[in-house]
Chain A
Amino acid sequence: MTAFTSPPMDTAQAGPPPPVYAKPGFRQRLLQRLGTRIALGWLLLVLLLALAAPLVTAYDPLSGGDNALQPPLSAGHWLGTDDLGRDIWTRVVYGTRVSLAVGIISAFFAVLIGVVLGAIAGYYGGWADALLMRIAEFFQTLPRFVVALIVIAVFGASLAKMILVIALLSWPQLARVVRATVASLRQSQFVDAARVAGMGHGAIILREILPNVAAPIIVIGSLDIASAILIEASLSFFGLGEPNLVSWGGMLNDAQQYLRSAWWMSAFAGLAIALTVWAFNLLGDALNDALNPRAGHTP
Protein backbone atom coordinates (compact mmCIF):
# COMPACT_ATOMS: atom_id res chain seq x y z
CA MET A 1 0.00 0.00 0.00
CA THR A 2 1.46 3.30 -1.02
CA ALA A 3 1.88 5.82 1.75
CA PHE A 4 -0.50 8.73 1.40
CA THR A 5 -0.13 11.98 3.20
CA SER A 6 -3.17 12.65 5.28
CA PRO A 7 -5.65 15.40 4.58
CA PRO A 8 -6.47 17.62 7.55
CA MET A 9 -8.28 15.23 9.81
CA ASP A 10 -11.77 15.84 10.95
CA THR A 11 -11.89 14.04 14.25
CA ALA A 12 -15.33 15.27 14.93
CA GLN A 13 -18.28 13.76 13.20
CA ALA A 14 -19.20 11.06 15.65
CA GLY A 15 -22.40 10.83 13.71
CA PRO A 16 -25.87 11.18 15.20
CA PRO A 17 -26.86 8.75 17.91
CA PRO A 18 -28.79 5.82 16.50
CA PRO A 19 -32.52 6.37 16.65
CA VAL A 20 -34.36 5.15 19.69
CA TYR A 21 -37.22 2.94 18.72
CA ALA A 22 -40.23 3.49 20.91
CA LYS A 23 -40.60 0.40 23.04
CA PRO A 24 -43.68 -0.24 25.13
CA GLY A 25 -43.08 1.35 28.51
CA PHE A 26 -43.02 -0.50 31.79
CA ARG A 27 -46.64 0.15 32.57
CA GLN A 28 -47.74 -1.04 29.19
CA ARG A 29 -45.75 -4.21 29.46
CA LEU A 30 -47.09 -4.86 32.90
CA LEU A 31 -50.71 -4.36 32.01
CA GLN A 32 -50.74 -6.00 28.64
CA ARG A 33 -52.34 -9.22 29.83
CA LEU A 34 -55.95 -9.36 30.95
CA GLY A 35 -55.12 -11.69 33.82
CA THR A 36 -52.69 -9.17 35.26
CA ARG A 37 -55.23 -6.39 35.06
CA ILE A 38 -57.83 -8.47 36.86
CA ALA A 39 -55.29 -9.45 39.52
CA LEU A 40 -54.29 -5.83 40.08
CA GLY A 41 -57.92 -4.83 40.22
CA TRP A 42 -58.60 -7.43 42.87
CA LEU A 43 -55.64 -6.37 44.97
CA LEU A 44 -56.68 -2.77 44.74
CA LEU A 45 -60.13 -3.75 45.93
CA VAL A 46 -58.67 -5.68 48.84
CA LEU A 47 -56.57 -2.70 49.78
CA LEU A 48 -59.50 -0.34 49.65
CA LEU A 49 -61.61 -2.66 51.75
CA ALA A 50 -58.83 -2.95 54.29
CA LEU A 51 -58.50 0.80 54.56
CA ALA A 52 -62.18 1.64 54.51
CA ALA A 53 -63.48 -1.33 56.45
CA PRO A 54 -65.64 0.61 58.92
CA LEU A 55 -67.19 2.54 56.08
CA VAL A 56 -68.41 -0.40 54.09
CA THR A 57 -69.61 -2.57 56.92
CA ALA A 58 -72.43 -2.12 59.37
CA TYR A 59 -71.63 -4.60 62.07
CA ASP A 60 -69.01 -5.34 64.67
CA PRO A 61 -66.89 -8.14 63.30
CA LEU A 62 -66.28 -9.70 66.67
CA SER A 63 -69.53 -9.66 68.54
CA GLY A 64 -72.32 -11.82 67.49
CA GLY A 65 -75.99 -11.48 67.72
CA ASP A 66 -79.08 -13.53 67.60
CA ASN A 67 -79.26 -14.13 63.94
CA ALA A 68 -77.05 -17.17 63.80
CA LEU A 69 -76.46 -19.22 60.70
CA GLN A 70 -78.42 -17.07 58.34
CA PRO A 71 -77.82 -17.99 54.72
CA PRO A 72 -76.62 -15.39 52.18
CA LEU A 73 -79.09 -12.83 50.90
CA SER A 74 -80.89 -12.78 54.20
CA ALA A 75 -82.22 -9.49 55.42
CA GLY A 76 -79.33 -7.20 56.36
CA HIS A 77 -76.69 -9.89 55.82
CA TRP A 78 -75.96 -10.27 52.17
CA LEU A 79 -73.33 -12.92 52.74
CA GLY A 80 -75.08 -14.52 55.70
CA THR A 81 -73.99 -14.98 59.32
CA ASP A 82 -71.90 -17.53 61.12
CA ASP A 83 -72.70 -19.76 64.06
CA LEU A 84 -72.28 -16.91 66.53
CA GLY A 85 -74.44 -14.53 64.56
CA ARG A 86 -71.58 -12.49 63.22
CA ASP A 87 -71.96 -10.96 59.77
CA ILE A 88 -69.86 -12.80 57.21
CA TRP A 89 -69.36 -9.82 54.91
CA THR A 90 -68.02 -7.72 57.80
CA ARG A 91 -65.64 -10.44 58.84
CA VAL A 92 -64.37 -10.98 55.33
CA VAL A 93 -63.73 -7.26 54.98
CA TYR A 94 -61.91 -6.99 58.28
CA GLY A 95 -59.97 -10.11 57.42
CA THR A 96 -58.29 -8.23 54.60
CA ARG A 97 -56.39 -6.20 57.17
CA VAL A 98 -54.78 -9.19 58.79
CA SER A 99 -53.90 -10.82 55.50
CA LEU A 100 -52.41 -7.72 53.99
CA ALA A 101 -50.58 -6.82 57.17
CA VAL A 102 -49.04 -10.23 57.58
CA GLY A 103 -48.28 -10.60 53.89
CA ILE A 104 -46.70 -7.24 53.30
CA ILE A 105 -44.88 -6.74 56.57
CA SER A 106 -43.34 -10.18 56.70
CA ALA A 107 -42.30 -9.93 53.05
CA PHE A 108 -40.79 -6.53 53.79
CA PHE A 109 -38.64 -7.90 56.60
CA ALA A 110 -37.71 -10.97 54.59
CA VAL A 111 -36.54 -8.69 51.79
CA LEU A 112 -34.63 -6.45 54.18
CA ILE A 113 -32.76 -9.30 55.82
CA GLY A 114 -32.29 -11.15 52.55
CA VAL A 115 -30.92 -8.17 50.64
CA VAL A 116 -28.49 -7.09 53.34
CA LEU A 117 -27.10 -10.54 54.00
CA GLY A 118 -27.16 -11.56 50.35
CA ALA A 119 -25.35 -8.41 49.24
CA ILE A 120 -22.64 -8.84 51.85
CA ALA A 121 -22.17 -12.49 50.98
CA GLY A 122 -22.11 -11.80 47.25
CA TYR A 123 -19.85 -8.77 47.32
CA TYR A 124 -17.24 -9.83 49.82
CA GLY A 125 -17.21 -13.55 49.26
CA GLY A 126 -14.74 -15.51 51.32
CA TRP A 127 -15.63 -16.55 54.82
CA ALA A 128 -18.48 -14.05 55.17
CA ASP A 129 -20.11 -15.66 52.18
CA ALA A 130 -19.54 -19.19 53.46
CA LEU A 131 -20.89 -18.37 56.91
CA LEU A 132 -23.97 -16.53 55.71
CA MET A 133 -24.83 -19.18 53.20
CA ARG A 134 -24.62 -21.94 55.79
CA ILE A 135 -26.98 -19.96 57.99
CA ALA A 136 -29.31 -19.45 55.05
CA GLU A 137 -29.23 -23.13 54.23
CA PHE A 138 -30.12 -23.95 57.79
CA PHE A 139 -33.17 -21.76 57.70
CA GLN A 140 -34.11 -22.97 54.29
CA THR A 141 -34.16 -26.61 55.25
CA LEU A 142 -36.60 -26.04 58.07
CA PRO A 143 -40.11 -26.93 56.97
CA ARG A 144 -41.79 -23.54 57.02
CA PHE A 145 -45.15 -24.47 58.18
CA VAL A 146 -44.14 -26.96 60.82
CA VAL A 147 -41.72 -24.52 62.40
CA ALA A 148 -44.32 -21.76 62.45
CA LEU A 149 -46.69 -24.20 64.05
CA ILE A 150 -44.24 -25.16 66.75
CA VAL A 151 -43.14 -21.64 67.57
CA ILE A 152 -46.64 -20.34 67.89
CA ALA A 153 -47.90 -23.35 69.77
CA VAL A 154 -45.04 -23.01 72.25
CA PHE A 155 -44.75 -19.25 72.55
CA GLY A 156 -48.33 -18.24 72.10
CA ALA A 157 -50.22 -16.78 69.24
CA SER A 158 -49.86 -13.18 68.18
CA LEU A 159 -49.74 -11.31 64.91
CA ALA A 160 -46.27 -9.96 65.55
CA LYS A 161 -44.87 -13.39 66.29
CA MET A 162 -46.42 -14.76 63.15
CA ILE A 163 -44.93 -12.01 61.03
CA LEU A 164 -41.52 -12.56 62.57
CA VAL A 165 -41.58 -16.29 62.06
CA ILE A 166 -42.66 -16.03 58.46
CA ALA A 167 -40.00 -13.39 57.75
CA LEU A 168 -37.29 -15.55 59.30
CA LEU A 169 -38.28 -18.48 57.18
CA SER A 170 -38.57 -16.55 53.92
CA TRP A 171 -35.37 -14.52 53.78
CA PRO A 172 -32.97 -17.31 52.71
CA GLN A 173 -34.43 -17.79 49.27
CA LEU A 174 -34.17 -14.08 48.52
CA ALA A 175 -30.69 -13.94 49.98
CA ARG A 176 -29.43 -16.65 47.66
CA VAL A 177 -30.74 -14.89 44.59
CA VAL A 178 -29.32 -11.57 45.74
CA ARG A 179 -25.99 -13.15 46.55
CA ALA A 180 -25.72 -14.80 43.15
CA THR A 181 -26.68 -11.64 41.29
CA VAL A 182 -24.39 -9.44 43.32
CA ALA A 183 -21.49 -11.85 42.95
CA SER A 184 -21.83 -11.89 39.20
CA LEU A 185 -22.33 -8.13 38.91
CA ARG A 186 -19.29 -7.57 41.04
CA GLN A 187 -17.20 -9.00 38.20
CA SER A 188 -18.62 -6.63 35.64
CA GLN A 189 -16.53 -3.97 34.06
CA PHE A 190 -18.74 -1.14 35.16
CA VAL A 191 -18.03 -2.05 38.76
CA ASP A 192 -14.33 -1.92 37.89
CA ALA A 193 -14.95 1.44 36.30
CA ALA A 194 -16.70 2.63 39.45
CA ARG A 195 -13.72 1.66 41.55
CA VAL A 196 -11.39 3.47 39.23
CA ALA A 197 -13.72 6.45 39.48
CA GLY A 198 -13.09 6.50 43.22
CA MET A 199 -16.25 4.93 44.59
CA GLY A 200 -15.94 3.05 47.87
CA HIS A 201 -17.35 -0.41 48.41
CA GLY A 202 -20.49 0.76 50.15
CA ALA A 203 -21.32 3.28 47.46
CA ILE A 204 -20.71 0.69 44.78
CA ILE A 205 -23.08 -1.79 46.39
CA LEU A 206 -25.80 0.79 46.86
CA ARG A 207 -25.52 2.75 43.65
CA GLU A 208 -24.14 0.39 41.07
CA ILE A 209 -25.08 -3.10 42.06
CA LEU A 210 -28.36 -3.06 43.96
CA PRO A 211 -30.34 -1.16 41.32
CA ASN A 212 -29.53 -4.00 39.00
CA VAL A 213 -30.78 -6.49 41.54
CA ALA A 214 -34.08 -4.71 42.07
CA ALA A 215 -35.94 -6.76 39.51
CA PRO A 216 -35.57 -10.22 41.06
CA ILE A 217 -36.13 -8.70 44.49
CA ILE A 218 -39.45 -7.25 43.45
CA VAL A 219 -40.58 -10.48 41.89
CA ILE A 220 -39.61 -12.72 44.76
CA GLY A 221 -41.04 -10.16 47.17
CA SER A 222 -44.48 -10.36 45.64
CA LEU A 223 -44.38 -14.12 45.59
CA ASP A 224 -43.34 -14.02 49.25
CA ILE A 225 -46.41 -11.96 50.06
CA ALA A 226 -48.58 -14.62 48.51
CA SER A 227 -47.01 -17.45 50.43
CA ALA A 228 -47.06 -15.45 53.67
CA ILE A 229 -50.80 -14.96 53.33
CA LEU A 230 -51.20 -18.65 52.75
CA ILE A 231 -49.13 -19.59 55.76
CA GLU A 232 -51.05 -17.19 57.96
CA ALA A 233 -54.30 -18.60 56.72
CA SER A 234 -53.16 -22.12 57.43
CA LEU A 235 -51.98 -21.26 60.91
CA SER A 236 -55.19 -19.52 61.72
CA PHE A 237 -57.10 -22.46 60.36
CA PHE A 238 -55.40 -24.58 62.99
CA GLY A 239 -56.46 -22.12 65.64
CA LEU A 240 -53.01 -20.60 66.03
CA GLY A 241 -53.91 -17.14 64.89
CA GLU A 242 -54.41 -14.30 67.28
CA PRO A 243 -57.77 -14.96 68.85
CA ASN A 244 -59.13 -11.43 68.90
CA LEU A 245 -58.45 -10.65 65.31
CA VAL A 246 -60.60 -11.58 62.38
CA SER A 247 -58.75 -13.52 59.77
CA TRP A 248 -59.84 -15.60 56.83
CA GLY A 249 -58.04 -18.64 58.13
CA GLY A 250 -59.74 -18.16 61.46
CA MET A 251 -63.06 -18.09 59.70
CA LEU A 252 -62.26 -21.40 58.11
CA ASN A 253 -61.38 -22.74 61.52
CA ASP A 254 -64.78 -21.65 62.84
CA ALA A 255 -66.49 -23.21 59.87
CA GLN A 256 -65.09 -26.69 60.31
CA GLN A 257 -68.22 -28.22 61.74
CA TYR A 258 -70.46 -26.39 59.35
CA LEU A 259 -68.80 -27.18 56.05
CA ARG A 260 -71.88 -28.85 54.69
CA SER A 261 -74.65 -27.23 56.61
CA ALA A 262 -73.55 -23.61 56.44
CA TRP A 263 -71.36 -23.54 53.38
CA TRP A 264 -71.23 -19.74 53.39
CA MET A 265 -69.16 -19.69 56.54
CA SER A 266 -66.17 -21.21 54.73
CA ALA A 267 -66.84 -20.47 51.09
CA PHE A 268 -66.33 -16.70 51.08
CA ALA A 269 -63.28 -16.73 53.31
CA GLY A 270 -61.75 -19.51 51.27
CA LEU A 271 -62.51 -17.66 48.08
CA ALA A 272 -60.90 -14.53 49.46
CA ILE A 273 -57.72 -16.44 50.34
CA ALA A 274 -57.56 -18.14 46.99
CA LEU A 275 -58.15 -14.99 44.97
CA THR A 276 -55.67 -12.90 46.93
CA VAL A 277 -52.89 -15.47 46.80
CA TRP A 278 -53.54 -16.04 43.13
CA ALA A 279 -53.51 -12.31 42.47
CA PHE A 280 -50.14 -11.80 44.16
CA ASN A 281 -48.69 -14.75 42.29
CA LEU A 282 -49.92 -13.38 39.01
CA LEU A 283 -48.57 -9.96 39.88
CA GLY A 284 -45.17 -11.43 40.63
CA ASP A 285 -45.21 -13.22 37.31
CA ALA A 286 -46.22 -10.12 35.40
CA LEU A 287 -43.59 -8.02 37.14
CA ASN A 288 -41.01 -10.58 36.17
CA ASP A 289 -41.95 -10.30 32.52
CA ALA A 290 -42.23 -6.55 32.60
CA LEU A 291 -38.91 -6.02 34.34
CA ASN A 292 -37.04 -8.22 31.91
CA PRO A 293 -37.75 -6.48 28.65
CA ARG A 294 -35.17 -8.49 26.73
CA ALA A 295 -37.36 -11.57 26.68
CA GLY A 296 -39.08 -11.63 23.31
CA HIS A 297 -37.48 -8.41 22.16
CA THR A 298 -36.37 -8.44 18.53
CA PRO A 299 -32.69 -7.54 18.42
Chain B
Amino acid sequence: MTALLEARDVSRLFPVRGSGSLLRARRMQTAVDQVSIAVQPGEVLALVGESGSGKTTLGRMLLGLTAPSSGQVLYKGQDIAQAPASALRDFRQAVQVVFQDSGGSLNPRHTVAQSIALPLRYNRGLAPEQAEREVDALLEQVHLPPRHFRNRLPHELSGGQRQRVGIARALASQPQVVIADEPVSALDVSVRAQILRLMFDLQQTQRLAYLFITHDLGVVRAFAQRVAVMYQGRIVEQGTADAVLDDPQHAYTRRLLAATPIPDPRRQQLG
Protein backbone atom coordinates (compact mmCIF):
# COMPACT_ATOMS: atom_id res chain seq x y z
CA MET B 1 0.00 0.00 0.00
CA THR B 2 1.48 3.34 -0.99
CA ALA B 3 1.89 5.59 1.94
CA LEU B 4 -0.33 8.63 1.83
CA LEU B 5 2.36 11.07 2.87
CA GLU B 6 5.97 10.19 3.05
CA ALA B 7 9.34 11.73 3.73
CA ARG B 8 12.19 9.82 2.11
CA ASP B 9 15.66 10.50 3.40
CA VAL B 10 14.91 14.16 3.98
CA SER B 11 17.37 16.52 5.52
CA ARG B 12 17.14 20.16 6.28
CA LEU B 13 20.08 22.35 7.06
CA PHE B 14 20.05 25.94 8.25
CA PRO B 15 22.92 28.37 8.07
CA VAL B 16 24.15 29.37 11.49
CA ARG B 17 23.61 33.09 11.92
CA GLY B 18 26.69 35.12 12.22
CA SER B 19 28.98 32.46 10.87
CA GLY B 20 30.80 32.76 7.60
CA SER B 21 32.21 35.79 5.88
CA LEU B 22 33.37 36.81 2.45
CA LEU B 23 36.10 34.20 2.54
CA ARG B 24 34.62 31.43 4.64
CA ALA B 25 31.48 29.47 3.91
CA ARG B 26 28.77 29.73 6.53
CA ARG B 27 28.47 26.93 8.99
CA MET B 28 25.38 24.83 8.59
CA GLN B 29 23.28 23.38 11.33
CA THR B 30 21.37 20.16 10.68
CA ALA B 31 17.82 20.37 11.92
CA VAL B 32 16.65 17.19 10.25
CA ASP B 33 19.09 14.46 9.34
CA GLN B 34 18.11 11.90 6.71
CA VAL B 35 14.73 11.06 8.09
CA SER B 36 12.32 8.63 6.49
CA ILE B 37 8.80 8.45 7.77
CA ALA B 38 5.46 7.48 6.24
CA VAL B 39 1.84 8.10 7.18
CA GLN B 40 -0.58 5.42 6.00
CA PRO B 41 -4.19 6.24 5.18
CA GLY B 42 -6.40 6.38 8.25
CA GLU B 43 -3.67 5.88 10.82
CA VAL B 44 -2.48 8.04 13.70
CA LEU B 45 1.26 8.38 13.77
CA ALA B 46 2.79 10.24 16.68
CA LEU B 47 6.06 12.07 16.23
CA VAL B 48 7.63 12.53 19.62
CA GLY B 49 10.55 14.76 20.45
CA GLU B 50 11.66 17.63 22.59
CA SER B 51 12.76 21.08 21.52
CA GLY B 52 15.59 20.94 19.04
CA SER B 53 14.65 17.49 17.84
CA GLY B 54 13.60 18.79 14.44
CA LYS B 55 10.02 17.59 14.69
CA THR B 56 8.50 20.92 13.75
CA THR B 57 10.84 21.32 10.78
CA LEU B 58 9.95 17.84 9.61
CA GLY B 59 6.29 18.71 9.93
CA ARG B 60 6.79 21.84 7.86
CA MET B 61 8.52 19.88 5.14
CA LEU B 62 5.68 17.38 5.03
CA LEU B 63 3.30 20.31 4.65
CA GLY B 64 5.29 21.74 1.79
CA LEU B 65 5.99 24.92 3.73
CA THR B 66 9.71 24.35 3.83
CA ALA B 67 11.70 22.68 1.10
CA PRO B 68 14.05 19.89 2.16
CA SER B 69 17.76 20.46 1.60
CA SER B 70 17.92 16.93 0.31
CA GLY B 71 15.57 13.99 0.01
CA GLN B 72 11.97 13.91 -1.14
CA VAL B 73 8.54 14.52 0.24
CA LEU B 74 6.02 12.28 -1.50
CA TYR B 75 2.27 12.55 -1.64
CA LYS B 76 0.66 9.36 -2.91
CA GLY B 77 4.01 8.40 -4.27
CA GLN B 78 4.66 11.62 -6.13
CA ASP B 79 7.43 14.03 -5.24
CA ILE B 80 5.78 17.33 -4.43
CA ALA B 81 8.81 19.30 -5.52
CA GLN B 82 8.43 17.92 -9.04
CA ALA B 83 4.66 17.70 -9.17
CA PRO B 84 2.63 19.50 -11.85
CA ALA B 85 0.22 22.20 -10.75
CA SER B 86 -2.84 19.95 -10.64
CA ALA B 87 -1.09 17.40 -8.45
CA LEU B 88 0.07 20.17 -6.18
CA ARG B 89 -3.49 21.36 -5.79
CA ASP B 90 -4.52 17.89 -4.74
CA PHE B 91 -1.68 17.83 -2.26
CA ARG B 92 -2.66 21.17 -0.79
CA GLN B 93 -6.18 20.02 -0.33
CA ALA B 94 -5.33 16.67 1.12
CA VAL B 95 -2.69 17.68 3.65
CA GLN B 96 -3.79 20.13 6.32
CA VAL B 97 -2.45 21.43 9.59
CA VAL B 98 -3.51 22.27 13.12
CA PHE B 99 -1.01 24.44 14.90
CA GLN B 100 -0.14 24.56 18.55
CA ASP B 101 -1.42 27.98 19.28
CA SER B 102 -4.38 28.96 17.18
CA GLY B 103 -3.91 32.43 18.51
CA GLY B 104 -0.92 32.76 16.23
CA SER B 105 -2.28 30.76 13.33
CA LEU B 106 -5.50 32.72 13.02
CA ASN B 107 -5.24 36.12 11.39
CA PRO B 108 -6.10 38.52 14.23
CA ARG B 109 -8.18 40.63 11.87
CA HIS B 110 -10.31 37.85 10.47
CA THR B 111 -13.45 36.57 12.09
CA VAL B 112 -13.85 32.87 12.73
CA ALA B 113 -15.99 32.56 9.62
CA GLN B 114 -13.43 34.32 7.47
CA SER B 115 -10.59 32.15 8.68
CA ILE B 116 -12.49 28.94 8.06
CA ALA B 117 -13.69 30.19 4.69
CA LEU B 118 -10.15 30.62 3.34
CA PRO B 119 -9.50 26.98 2.44
CA LEU B 120 -13.08 26.67 1.21
CA ARG B 121 -12.53 29.49 -1.22
CA TYR B 122 -9.03 28.56 -2.27
CA ASN B 123 -8.49 24.86 -1.87
CA ARG B 124 -11.99 23.86 -2.81
CA GLY B 125 -12.94 26.79 -4.99
CA LEU B 126 -16.36 27.28 -3.45
CA ALA B 127 -18.46 30.33 -4.21
CA PRO B 128 -19.07 32.72 -1.30
CA GLU B 129 -22.62 31.62 -0.46
CA GLN B 130 -21.69 27.96 -0.57
CA ALA B 131 -18.69 28.70 1.59
CA GLU B 132 -20.88 30.40 4.19
CA ARG B 133 -23.10 27.36 4.50
CA GLU B 134 -20.11 25.09 4.71
CA VAL B 135 -18.55 27.26 7.44
CA ASP B 136 -21.65 26.79 9.55
CA ALA B 137 -21.61 23.05 8.99
CA LEU B 138 -17.96 22.87 10.03
CA LEU B 139 -18.56 24.91 13.16
CA GLU B 140 -21.31 22.49 14.11
CA GLN B 141 -18.91 19.61 13.59
CA VAL B 142 -16.51 21.02 16.13
CA HIS B 143 -19.33 21.87 18.51
CA LEU B 144 -19.12 25.64 18.23
CA PRO B 145 -22.70 26.88 17.63
CA PRO B 146 -22.35 29.06 14.52
CA ARG B 147 -24.75 31.67 15.76
CA HIS B 148 -22.47 32.56 18.63
CA PHE B 149 -19.09 32.00 17.11
CA ARG B 150 -18.95 32.83 13.44
CA ASN B 151 -18.36 36.55 13.92
CA ARG B 152 -15.91 36.35 16.75
CA LEU B 153 -12.34 37.49 16.49
CA PRO B 154 -9.59 35.19 17.73
CA HIS B 155 -8.81 37.20 20.84
CA GLU B 156 -12.43 36.91 21.86
CA LEU B 157 -12.19 33.15 22.23
CA SER B 158 -10.76 30.86 24.85
CA GLY B 159 -7.77 28.66 24.00
CA GLY B 160 -9.89 25.55 23.56
CA GLN B 161 -12.33 27.36 21.31
CA ARG B 162 -9.51 28.66 19.15
CA GLN B 163 -8.19 25.16 18.71
CA ARG B 164 -11.61 24.05 17.60
CA VAL B 165 -11.61 26.80 14.99
CA GLY B 166 -8.19 25.61 13.86
CA ILE B 167 -9.55 22.08 13.53
CA ALA B 168 -12.60 23.29 11.62
CA ARG B 169 -10.33 25.12 9.25
CA ALA B 170 -8.20 22.03 8.74
CA LEU B 171 -11.30 19.96 8.00
CA ALA B 172 -12.61 22.54 5.54
CA SER B 173 -10.40 21.25 2.75
CA GLN B 174 -11.73 17.71 3.26
CA PRO B 175 -8.21 16.48 3.85
CA GLN B 176 -6.85 13.00 4.10
CA VAL B 177 -3.98 13.79 6.41
CA VAL B 178 -3.91 16.32 9.21
CA ILE B 179 -0.58 17.29 10.67
CA ALA B 180 -1.19 18.41 14.23
CA ASP B 181 1.74 20.21 15.83
CA GLU B 182 1.32 20.15 19.61
CA PRO B 183 -2.41 20.83 19.28
CA VAL B 184 -3.19 20.59 22.99
CA SER B 185 0.01 21.64 24.72
CA ALA B 186 -1.11 25.21 25.23
CA LEU B 187 -4.48 24.22 26.67
CA ASP B 188 -5.70 23.71 30.19
CA VAL B 189 -5.64 20.15 31.43
CA SER B 190 -9.40 19.89 31.80
CA VAL B 191 -9.86 21.00 28.21
CA ARG B 192 -7.15 18.90 26.58
CA ALA B 193 -9.11 15.72 26.48
CA GLN B 194 -12.09 17.57 24.94
CA ILE B 195 -9.98 18.51 21.96
CA LEU B 196 -8.31 15.14 21.74
CA ARG B 197 -11.62 13.40 21.89
CA LEU B 198 -12.93 15.65 19.13
CA MET B 199 -9.94 14.83 16.96
CA PHE B 200 -10.32 11.16 17.76
CA ASP B 201 -14.01 11.13 16.80
CA LEU B 202 -13.33 13.04 13.59
CA GLN B 203 -10.68 10.55 12.71
CA GLN B 204 -13.10 7.71 13.12
CA THR B 205 -15.94 9.29 11.16
CA GLN B 206 -13.85 10.76 8.38
CA ARG B 207 -11.08 8.19 8.16
CA LEU B 208 -8.46 10.83 8.63
CA ALA B 209 -4.81 10.12 9.07
CA TYR B 210 -2.95 12.16 11.63
CA LEU B 211 0.65 13.00 12.10
CA PHE B 212 0.56 13.99 15.73
CA ILE B 213 3.62 15.96 16.74
CA THR B 214 4.05 16.18 20.48
CA HIS B 215 6.47 16.00 23.34
CA ASP B 216 3.92 14.52 25.69
CA LEU B 217 4.03 10.75 25.96
CA GLY B 218 0.73 10.66 27.82
CA VAL B 219 -1.08 11.91 24.74
CA VAL B 220 0.67 9.37 22.57
CA ARG B 221 -0.64 6.25 24.18
CA ALA B 222 -4.17 7.55 24.38
CA PHE B 223 -4.31 8.43 20.75
CA ALA B 224 -1.71 6.97 18.43
CA GLN B 225 -1.22 3.62 16.77
CA ARG B 226 2.38 4.15 15.79
CA VAL B 227 5.13 6.27 17.26
CA ALA B 228 8.36 7.69 15.91
CA VAL B 229 10.81 9.17 18.39
CA MET B 230 13.04 12.01 17.22
CA TYR B 231 16.22 13.17 18.80
CA GLN B 232 18.62 15.74 17.41
CA GLY B 233 17.26 15.53 13.90
CA ARG B 234 17.13 11.78 13.64
CA ILE B 235 14.46 9.18 14.18
CA VAL B 236 15.89 6.94 16.85
CA GLU B 237 12.99 4.55 17.27
CA GLN B 238 9.81 3.69 15.40
CA GLY B 239 7.09 1.18 16.02
CA THR B 240 3.62 0.58 17.40
CA ALA B 241 2.73 2.74 20.37
CA ASP B 242 2.46 -0.22 22.69
CA ALA B 243 5.78 -1.67 21.61
CA VAL B 244 7.70 1.55 21.92
CA LEU B 245 6.19 2.63 25.20
CA ASP B 246 6.19 -0.75 26.92
CA ASP B 247 9.54 -1.93 25.68
CA PRO B 248 11.67 0.99 24.49
CA GLN B 249 14.78 -0.03 22.66
CA HIS B 250 16.70 3.20 22.29
CA ALA B 251 18.39 4.90 25.23
CA TYR B 252 16.76 8.23 24.48
CA THR B 253 13.28 6.71 24.43
CA ARG B 254 13.97 5.17 27.77
CA ARG B 255 15.22 8.47 29.11
CA LEU B 256 12.08 10.18 27.86
CA LEU B 257 9.87 7.63 29.56
CA ALA B 258 11.84 7.83 32.77
CA ALA B 259 11.55 11.58 32.82
CA THR B 260 7.79 11.73 32.28
CA PRO B 261 6.15 12.42 35.63
CA ILE B 262 3.48 9.94 36.63
CA PRO B 263 0.32 11.17 38.32
CA ASP B 264 0.56 8.59 41.07
CA PRO B 265 2.21 9.60 44.33
CA ARG B 266 3.04 6.04 45.15
CA ARG B 267 5.18 5.66 42.07
CA GLN B 268 7.60 8.50 42.35
CA GLN B 269 10.40 8.08 39.91
CA LEU B 270 11.73 11.59 40.10
CA GLY B 271 11.80 12.11 43.84
Contacts and interface: CB of A to CB of B under 8 A. Distances in A.
Interface stretch (B32-40, B45-53, B99-107): B99-107
A197 B143 CA distance: 22
Interface of B: 60, 63-65, 89, 92-93, 95-97, 99, 101, 104-109, 115, 118-119, 122-123, 142-144, 148-149, 152, 156-158, 160-161, 164, 169, 172-173, 194, 197-198, 201, 263-264
A15 B105 CA distance: 22
Given A11-B194, A17-B148, A17-B161, A196 B65 contact: yes
A202 interface: no
Nearest to A191: B107
A17 B156 CA distance: 7
A211 B173 CA distance: 25
Contact of A12 (B143, B149, B172, B263): B143
Interface in A87-118: none
Interface string A1-32: 10000000101111111101000000000000
A188 B93 CA distance: 21
Contact of B105 (A9, A17, A193): A193
Interface residues of A, number: 26
A8 to B, nearest CB: 11
B89 A196 contact: no
A244 interface: no
A192 B158 contact: no
A292 interface: no
B143 A198 contact: no
Given A12-B143, A190-B107, A17 B157 contact: yes
B143 A193 contact: no
Contact of B97 (A18, A196, A198): A196
A112 B10 CA distance: 42
Contacts, number: 92
Interface of A: 1, 9, 11-18, 20, 188-190, 192-199, 203, 208, 211-212
A196 B96 contact: yes
Contact of A197 (B101, B119, B197): B119
24 contacts: A1-B264, A11-B194, A14-B143, A14-B144, A14-B160, A14-B161, A14-B164, A14-B194, A15-B160, A17-B158, A17-B161, A20-B156, A190-B105, A190-B106, A193-B118, A196-B64, A196-B92, A197-B119, A197-B169, A197-B173, A198-B92, A198-B93, A198-B118, A198-B119
A193 B148 contact: no
A199 B118 contact: yes
Contacts of B164: 14
Contacts of A9: 197
Contacts of B95: 196
A217 to B, nearest CB: 15
Contacts of A13: 143, 194
Nearest to A21: B156
Contacts of B106: 190, 193
Given A14-B164, A17-B148, A197-B119, 7 more contacts: A17-B152, A18-B156, A18-B158, A192-B60, A194-B107, A198-B118, A199-B118
A281 B122 CA distance: 42
Contacts of B264: 1
Contacts of B152: 17
Contacts of B172: 197
Contacts of A208: 107
B123 A11 contact: no
B109 A189 contact: no
B173 A198 contact: yes
A76 B118 CA distance: 65
A1 B198 CA distance: 24
Nearest to B112: A17
A101 B22 CA distance: 49
Contacts of B173: 197-198
A196 B104 CA distance: 15
Contacts of B60: 192
Contacts of B198: 11
Contacts of B158: 15, 17-18
What 4 A-B pairs come out closest when comparing CB atoms?
A198-B122, A198-B123, A197-B119, A189-B105
Nearest to A9: B197
A16 B105 contact: no
